[in-house]
């Protein structure tokens, strides 16, 4: 590992994004954090900003501060659009959670494509997405067509092409698989769906803030996404919601509320949706959580998403190279695309005792993630992870793996039930 450590030091010295590491709250001594795909690191500027908002805007101005937050979901949405989404002003708001936004936009998509009876989803999509879409389809008398996806390689687009027809209203997919990290070709998916007159609704949760997205340039229709992962907005921050400008007048979301009313403060007796992106809002936003999204957007804007994506590819490439040499011979097996261009910002491996392995890694102060039933997910964050951190992570991983001495991993072999969950709690 010493040769790898020397190489990491050279890469860190040459890395144009290396100074950004110091603009995050420090990781506690001795810990290595490779779990940015679950919760992004805390930008160092966030606590001071929240303190200023709490003491100044709320504490000093009291109820007068309320009016300055009325357009907060649109203001922060516009910032996300410009920095991380490649979208235009007036196409993004920050509101609710990803699941609620997915519900709102799935219903809106069906309304925008009347007469079409089919909703397409894939079986490797995030479970909540599948639950929401299945519920909407059942509640609106639509057929749900589920496409099989290879859990390691991702969705085959020819399989998708065969599943989408003139009866398809909307295709609901994750751009980056939460398990394997497989990255879809957004433009090609749009071509497949739009050729049949269908809409595409993306879940960008594992892509936004790590992948250089260009929603406007690729003709994206609808999208949602978590903001607490690679956008580093913090736990509890509402999700993003994107609707292409020309679709907004056709799509009326089902959860009517005063924030989406054309005359928000007039308190009219009847609901009249605002003609802009504001129609997709419902109730009062959690202002402190939305404000907390801004410091990370400043960092991403300064770095530039093209550079962030390049660093992400380099980090995951370095990680897979070291893991291939050190960890795979000890029983770990790749469970995602080998090509950095075809994966997002995380790398996944299979191990028959993954449910025990992840808490054991935490005991060694290496923090990664577990996905059922047998996968370990590592997410080096481009702005806050050094190449030296990757080397140290692989070193600790190797030490923990040697203690397991698992039987050879066989394709199709049963996966033992874990005695503990990924956080060390007894099952």
Residue range 121-137: mean pLDDT, rounded: 97
What pLDDT is attached to residue 426? Answer: 36
Domain borders along the chain are 2-44+304-404, 70-301
What pLDDT is attached to residue 405? Answer: 59
CATH of domain 70-301: 3.40.640.10
Q: What is the pLDDT of residues 345-394, one digit of tens each?
A: 999 999 999 999 999 999 999 999 999 899 999 999 999 999 999 999 99
- Secondary structure string (H, E, C) spanning the chain: CHHHHHHHHHHHHHCCCHHHHHHECCCCCCCEECECCCCCCCECCHHHHHHHHHHHHHHHCHHHHHHHHCCHHHHHHHHHHHHHHCCCCCCEEEECCHHHHHHHHHHHHHHHCCCCCEEEEECCCCHHHHHHHHHHHHHCCCEEEEECCECCCECCHHHHHHHCCCCEEEEEEECECCCCCEECCHHHHHHHHHHCCCEEEEECCCCECCECCCHHHHCCCEEEECCCCCCCCCCCCCEEEEECHHHCCCCCCCCCCHHHECCCCCCCCCCCECCCHHHHCCCCCCHHHHHCCHHHHHHHHHHCHHHHHHHHHHHHHHHHHHHHHHCHHHCCEECCCCCHHHECCCEEEECCCHHHHHHHHHHCCEECEEECCCEEEEECCCCCCCHHHHHHHHHHHHHHHHHHCCCCCCCCCCCCCCCECCCCCEC
Domain 2-44+304-404 has CATH 3.90.1150.10: yes
Q: Which residue has the higher pLDDT, 215 or 415?
A: 215
Mean pLDDT of the chain: 92
Check: pTM over 0.75? Answer yes or no. yes
2-44+304-404 and 70-301 in the same fold = no
List the catalytic residues: 126, 203, 228-229, 377
Q: What is the pLDDT of residues 142-196, one digit of tens each?
A: 999 999 999 999 999 999 999 999 999 999 999 999 999 999 999 999 999 999 9
């Amino acid at each position: 590992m010493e040769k790898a450590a020397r190489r990491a030091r050279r890469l860190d010295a040459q890395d144009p994004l290396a100074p950004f590491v110091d603009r995050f709250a420090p990781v506690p001594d001795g810990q290595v954090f490779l779990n940015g795909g679950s919760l992004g690191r805390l930008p160092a500027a966030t606590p001071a900003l929240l303190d200023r908002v709490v003491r100044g805007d709320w504490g000093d101005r009291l109820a007068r501060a309320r009016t300055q937050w009325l357009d907060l979901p649109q203001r922060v949405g516009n910032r996300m659009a410009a920095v991380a989404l490649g979208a235009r002003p007036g196409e993004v708001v920050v509101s609710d959670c990803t699941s609620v936004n997915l519900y709102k936009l799935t219903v809106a998509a069906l309304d925008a494509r009347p007469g079409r009876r089919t909703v397409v989803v894939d079986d490797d999509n995030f479970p909540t997405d599948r639950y929401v879409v299945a519920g909407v389809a059942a509640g609106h008398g639509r057929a749900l067509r589920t496409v099989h996806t290879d859990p390691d390689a991702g969705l085959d687009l020819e399989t998708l092409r065969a599943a989408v027809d003139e009866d398809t209203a909307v295709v609901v997919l994750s751009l980056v698989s939460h398990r394997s990290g497989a990255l879809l070709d957004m433009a090609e998916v749009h071509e497949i769906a739009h050729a049949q007159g269908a809409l595409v609704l993306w879940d960008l949760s594992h892509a936004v803030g790590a992948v250089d997205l260009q929603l406007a340039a690729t003709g994206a229709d609808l999208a949602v996404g978590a903001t607490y992962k690679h956008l580093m907005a913090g736990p509890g921050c509402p999700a993003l919601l994107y609707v292409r400008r020309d679709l907004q007048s056709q799509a009326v979301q089902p959860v009517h509320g005063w924030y989406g009313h054309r005359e928000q403060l007039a308190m009219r007796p009847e609901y009249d949706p605002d003609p802009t992106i504001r129609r997709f809002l419902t109730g009062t936003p959690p202002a402190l959580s939305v404000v907390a999204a801004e410091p990370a957007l400043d960092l991403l804007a300064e770095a530039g998403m093209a550079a962030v994506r390049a660093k992400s590819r380099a980090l995951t490439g370095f990680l897979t190279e070291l893991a291939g040499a050190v960890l795979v011979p000890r029983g770990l097996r790749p469970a995602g695309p080998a090509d950095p261009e075809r994966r997002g910002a995380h790398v996944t491996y299979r191990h028959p005792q993954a449910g025990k392995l992840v808490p054991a890694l935490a005991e060694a102060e290496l923090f990664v993630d577990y996905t059922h039933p047998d996968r370990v997910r590592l997410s080096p964050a481009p702005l806050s992870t050094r190449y030296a951190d990757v080397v140290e992570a692989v070193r600790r991983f190797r030490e923990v793996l040697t203690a397991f001495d698992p039987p050879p991993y066989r394709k199709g072999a049963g996966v033992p039930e874990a005695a503990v969950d990924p956080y060390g709690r007894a099952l």
